[in-house]
Amino acid sequence: MELTCLHNKFNFPSLPHLSRPFFKNPNPRVFPRKINILFLASASDTVVASSIKELGSKKDDEFGDLKSWMHRNGLPRCKVVLNESTSHDEKHMPVHYVVASDDLPAGDVAFSVPNSLVVTLERVLGNETVAELLTTNKLSELACLALYLMYEKKQGKKSFWYPYIRELDRQRGRGQLAVESPLLWSEEELAYLTGSPTKAEVLERAEGIKREYDELDTVWFMAGSLFQQYPYDIPTEAFPFEIFKQAFVAVQSCVVHLQKVPLAQRFALVPLGPPLLAYRSNCKAMLSAVNGAVELVVDRACKAGEPIVVWCGPQPNSKLLINYGFVDDDNSYDRLVVEAALNTEDPQYQDKRLVVQRNGKLSVQVFHVYAGKEKEAVFDMLPYLRLGYVSDPSEMQSVLSSQGPVCPVSPCMDRAVRDQLADYFNRRLAGYLTTLNEDESLLSDPNLNPRRRVATELVRLEKKILHACLQATTELIDELPDCVSMPCTLCPVVEMKES
């Protein structure tokens, strides 16, 4: 999520139970201990049950809710409260979300969270240089933040962050529809995304999380002073991969991305921020750093009791689903990606490569097809595809000497170009398990499984884009005179890629 930049370093006062400043200790003491792990979202019913028992315990009343804890630790008076929405699964706790406590005019400050209640990598490691070293090597900021919170979780109520971690446990990485990221779905549930490039993206992201897990011990040995206060095993022995993945996904769902700040401050965990805030693609409200705090200024009038919404950044729905567990039907940034490539076996490949570069394209070109702008995308693809069909050397010389992306192809060759594009869109649509009409029928069922619902919403929006592209291409074919498509053995390759 792209947010207002942070111009000054965070200055954090000393707080109880926080990590000490970093200094290298290559041999931290390790005290093996029997593990009883629960952190954030879990696919295990047993773990879920114990989580509910813990979260609902009267012994936790001493801490109050998240907002009460924040007020006791420096949060000034704000104009929001926490409401809850019933979970689709009775085994799960309700999802909390932030609503206005007063009528807010546009431009009003809803809340201002002091830096002392914000977690960044600089705070976790205590040394910006080392933070940069870790995050430019094999570990991301999210992995380091997840590991830090996992160890803090094992501290239980001794941890300063216990009320915040308890809230993350409650949210379980769920988005606005109370649905976890597909990174936590089963294979059967991922099948809902069959035909969508998002499925491959989920699997690729999961592999990346596994690679980071395999590097977790690097943090342990490099930041020995940080973890010396935790009398537990090294990360990969203390936390199974599934637990780390759940923590990673939960951090991913709530992290705020700050722009134009030092690397160690770039990702921040802000209580009262995501996922308690509702994301919208069409609003302008953003969290920003002001005078030692992170504040939210609303971009629209908001009545008391209404959810507070923020901009989720220019992300397509595939990213919204993976990161936050929801899709936005009114997302002007939603898009599919079509990749076309010149045929490297073409004897005139080098000349064609020169032409496309001269016109601002590449030999392997990515075309972004935005929702509502499908016809423009099709028009953008056609000159590129026509070039691939040019086979006569004299015609190629004419293209080289001309200005602009104009290729002298015959009507029959042009039909072949448009037919290839239409066939591509038809193949993409045929790759889904359901039709657009079947999707609409599924979504009309109020008892539809929540994960199936959000997956269906995603593929339905993808199909609408593809249908619009197909319609635009068919209309262009109908404009041509009747003729037989000319075969092309060296035509460009067209593929669908992740957005």
Residue for token digits 């699997």? 203
- pLDDT exceeds 50 at position 38: no
Which pLDDT does position 224 carry in this prediction? 59
Residues 6+ apart with CB under 8 A from 87: 93, 94, 95, 174, 178
pLDDT of 118 reads 92
Closest listed residue to residue 285, CA positions, set 95, 9, 2: 2
> Residue 36, Cα to own-chain centre: how many angstroms?
30
More confident residue, 138 or 31: 138
What is the pTM for the complete model shown? 0.81
Q: If you compute the radius of gyration of the chain from its CA atoms, what whole number of angstroms results? A: 26
The whole-chain average pLDDT of the chain stands at: 80
State phi, psi for 180 to the nearest 5 degrees. Answer: -75, 160
The confidence score (pLDDT) of residue 242 equals: 93
Q: What is the pLDDT of residue 108?
A: 95
Q: CB-based contacts of 151: which residues, under 8 Å, 6+ apart? A: 227, 230, 232, 238
Is residue 272 pLDDT above 80, yes or no? Answer: yes
Q: Is the pLDDT confidence value at 39 over 50? A: no
387-427 pLDDT tens trace: 888 888 888 888 887 765 566 677 888 888 899 999 999 99
Q: How confident is the model at residue 68 (pLDDT cuts 50, 70, 90)?
A: very high
Residue 291: pLDDT over 90: no
Residue 247 has pLDDT above 50, yes or no: yes
Q: Does residue 276 surpass a pLDDT of 50?
A: yes
pLDDT tens across 301-319, in order? Answer: 999 999 998 998 899 999 9
Q: Which residue has the higher pLDDT, 342 or 460?
A: 460
Residue, of 15 and 100, whose pLDDT is higher: 100
Query: Considering only CA atoms, which of 52, 56, 76, 74 is closest in space to residue 65?
Result: 56
Q: What strands, in cross-sheet order, belong to the sheet with 119-120?
A: 2-3, 255-258, 267-269, 119-120
Confidence bin at 297 (pLDDT 50/70/90): very high
Structure token digits, residue 254: 């709530």
Q: What angle do CA 120, 122, 128 make, to 5 degrees?
A: 150
- Peptide bond preceding 275: is omega within 30 degrees of 0, i.e. cis? yes
279 - beta bridge partners? 310
- pLDDT of residue 57 exceeding 70, the answer is no
pLDDT at 22: 31
- Per-residue pLDDT, 216: 84
Question: Tens digits of per-residue pLDDT, 96-153?
Answer: 889 999 999 999 999 999 989 999 887 887 665 566 666 566 678 888 889 889 888 9
Range of weakest confidence among 40-49, 73-82, 236-245: 40-49
Average of per-residue pLDDT across 371-387 = 93
pLDDT at 155: 86
* Residue recorded with tokens 């005139």: 348
Q: Measured between alpha carbons, how far is 194 from 197 in angstroms, rounded to an integer?
A: 8
Beta partners for 119?
269
Per-residue burial over 468-489, b if 16 or more Cβ lie within 10 Å, else e, is: bbbebbeebeeeeeeeebbebe
